[in-house]
Amino acid sequence: MTPALDTPVLIAGGGPTGLVLASVLAANGVNCLLAERNPSTTRFPKMDITHGPSMELLRRLSVDQELRRVGVASQFSFDVIFAPGLNGPEVGRWRLPSVDEQRAALAKSVDGSRPGQPWQRLSQALFEKVLMERCQRDPLIDVHQGWRLESCSEIDGAVEATLVGAGDDSTTVRAGYLIGCDGASSRVRNELGIAMTGAPEFTHFALVHFRSPDMANLHALGQFWHLFFTSGVAVIAQDEVDTWTLHVDLGPELSEEDPIGDPREFVLRALGRPIEITGVLASSIWRPTALLADSYGRGRILLAGDAVHTMIPTGGYGMNTGLGDAFNLGWKLAAVVRGWGGQTLLDSYEQERRPVGERNRDVSLENAVVHLQYRAMADGDLIMADSADGTAHRAALGEFLAANDGENLSLGIELDVRYDNSPIVCTPDGQAPPWDRRTFVPTVRAGHRAPNIVVGPDETLFDSFGPGFTLVDACRHPEAKRLVDGAVLSGIPLHHLVVEDSRCRELYENQLVLVRPDLHIAWSGTTVTDAAAIIERARGAA
């Protein structure tokens, strides 16, 4: 056994959630130890869309440009095509804009109803690589790749954990806090005895990640991001160069021990059209689930990401929700470690994030049902028929898909995240705008996500925010000073941002708005009756 290690925060799991959490802690000046059981980051593509609001958060870590550099080039659409096969006929298309097109649309959108940053196509393998290299470069993050967390418990006001490395070498870690970001089969969650409830594994998918430069055949229906066959086959364009992923729904029962066999043959059979394959990068069987943990942790041991919520990939909510957890928890943990955060801060993590995990899990299932209905509706013969009945059948499928196109058009899910009953949010006045899955109504109501707009070439209002709290002063109110003084007294990092631009003042309703480091509103108003009470609540000490 190697000697014990001491750290304020131990993170188990270096997937997207753990990597981002470590980065947020470091950005707030807090050390952590990141233990990842695998010696290298994932080779499996998995996540392939990072939503605009996640890109806004990642920009606060100054990692957005690097992710865009390695991700899919900005001119390519996010189009989703539905067809019986590569040869068509196309029965439906969700037209989804490229990064360039979305960026142009966001620049014209002046009402704050959209995120400030466009979305990004990017495989999880690349996302993890970029974030891991960033963590390795950061002197505040002690990265231990190839070390798995074996056991953990809370003892005498700290956490003790055992890590096991190569050759069964083991070490003990004493940490102020342990965060289990160790994925769907979380060891940390199991150690705490916390159950997951929802829709367990209900089918099997075969995945083959392969290289092919054969655009002539793969793009027979035109460029696409996702192509869904009626047979339960999906093709994902990973980089618009030569990398693709094939997913095949094999159903709840597997009839063969090795359903993929030769991955090349498997791809050719599934695509039904000969294509040139120049390499197989990975293949596996995976099982989607939609589950939520009964609790997000206990005491000094907390959980985040897939360790507390698993989702069907339809909509791309899994990692994006995990990033939301990491940004929510990261500043709170840092505040507690640095001494300015009160106890309620950590309690608020579950109160704020579990309802979001539950909602997104449920909507990922709703999205999946659309695909199941499309497949059930499609008649294999009629869809190909050169007849009036065939035309009518294809039109009916197209109408169904057009009427159910919310999978990647759900700003309500991606952006309208509200922490209504949070103990660290000041009780807002007035009625909240109604929640709607497809839209985001900008508001400065406490608990809601702060609104953002583009203010210049590659610049949004959020770029003027501080790394900690920001007091957006859209009314040049003399009482702002009382909040600034209160923050200084409590040690809260706060940037006082006086907004001059008339559009931004209007967007912030000519009020004073206290925005948290995770871009949620802690308080807003035009008079500061009790600055100390606002600050105490925002820092979890009320």
Ligand X SMILES: Cc1cc2nc3c(=O)[nH]c(=O)nc-3n(C[C@H](O)[C@H](O)[C@H](O)COP(=O)(O)OP(=O)(O)OC[C@H]3O[C@@H](n4cnc5c(N)ncnc54)[C@H](O)[C@@H]3O)c2cc1C
Q: Taking the CA of residue 1 as centre, how many other CA atoms within 13 Å lie in the half-sphere pointing to its CB?
A: 8
Contacts of range 428-436, beta carbons closer than 8 Å, 24 or more positions apart: 428/524, 429/525, 436/412
Rounded Cα gap, residues 331 and 346, in angstroms? 10
313 binds ligand X (CB under 6 A): yes
Instruction: Give the chain's end-to-end CA distance (angstroms, integer).
Output: 44
Site for ligand X (CB under 6 A): which residue of 36, 64, 142, 350?
A: 36
> Torsion over CA of 244, 40, 333 and 182, rounded to 10 degrees?
70
Q: Given the DSSP bridges, would you call strands 32-36 and 141-145 parallel, antiparallel or unpaired?
A: parallel
56 binds ligand X (CB under 6 A): no
221 binds ligand X (CB under 6 A): no
Site for ligand X (CB under 6 A): which residue of 9, 10, 12, 227?
A: 12
Indicate the residue among 18 and 176 with the shorter CB distance to ligand X: 18
Site for ligand X (CB under 6 A): which residue of 53, 263, 318, 357?
A: 318
- Tokens 């960026």 — which residue? 103
525 binds ligand X (CB under 6 A): no
49 binds ligand X (CB under 6 A): yes
238 binds ligand X (CB under 6 A): no
Name residue 251's beta-bridge partners.
204
Rounded Cα gap, residues 51 and 72, in angstroms? 14
Residue 370, both tokens: 């659309």
17 binds ligand X (CB under 6 A): yes
115 binds ligand X (CB under 6 A): no
- Nearest approach in angstroms of CB 350 to ligand X is 16
322 binds ligand X (CB under 6 A): yes
Site for ligand X (CB under 6 A): which residue of 33, 35, 480, 534?
A: 35
477 binds ligand X (CB under 6 A): no
Q: Given the DSSP bridges, would you call strands 233-237 and 309-310 parallel, antiparallel or unpaired?
A: unpaired
Q: Which of 291, 353, 363, 292 is nearest to 325 (CA)?
A: 353
- Nearest approach in angstroms of CB 302 to ligand X is 13
305 binds ligand X (CB under 6 A): yes
473 binds ligand X (CB under 6 A): no
Choose one: 15-23, 75-83, 224-232, 397-405; the region binding ligand X (CB under 6 A).
15-23
Site for ligand X (CB under 6 A): which residue of 7, 9, 10, 16?
A: 16
Site for ligand X (CB under 6 A): which residue of 7, 9, 10, 14?
A: 14
Choose one: 9-17, 70-78, 154-162, 253-261; the region binding ligand X (CB under 6 A).
9-17
Rounded Cα gap, residues 485 and 463, in angstroms? 23
Rounded Cα gap, residues 297 and 299, in angstroms? 7
What is the amino acid identity at position 128? E
46 binds ligand X (CB under 6 A): yes
Going residue by residue from 261 to 300, which x/- string records binding to ligand X, judged by CB under 6 A? -------------------------x--------------
Pair 45, 209: CB distance under 8 Å: yes
Pair 135, 144: CB distance under 8 Å: no
Indicate the residue among 233 and 454 with the shorter CB distance to ligand X: 233
- Nearest approach in angstroms of CB 56 to ligand X is 15
Rounded Cα gap, residues 207 and 233, in angstroms? 10
Residue 149, both tokens: 């967390």
Name residue 80's beta-bridge partners.
94, 226
Indicate the residue among 270 and 538 with the shorter CB distance to ligand X: 270
Rounded Cα gap, residues 374 and 316, in angstroms? 19
Pair 520, 526: CB distance under 8 Å: no
- Nearest approach in angstroms of CB 331 to ligand X is 18
Q: Taking the CA of residue 55 as centre, how many other CA atoms within 13 Å lie in the half-sphere pointing to its CB?
A: 23
Rounded Cα gap, residues 43 and 27, in angstroms? 27
Site for ligand X (CB under 6 A): which residue of 7, 117, 124, 364?
A: 124
Choose one: 94-102, 180-188, 347-355, 429-437; the region binding ligand X (CB under 6 A).
180-188
Indicate the residue among 56 and 473 with the shorter CB distance to ligand X: 56
Choose one: 32-40, 222-230, 342-350, 376-384; the region binding ligand X (CB under 6 A).
32-40
53 binds ligand X (CB under 6 A): no
Three-class DSSP category at 518: coil
Site for ligand X (CB under 6 A): which residue of 81, 149, 345, 471?
A: 149
Name the residues that contact ligand X, by CB under 6 A: 12-18, 35-38, 46-49, 124, 148-149, 181-183, 187, 286, 305-306, 313, 316-320, 322
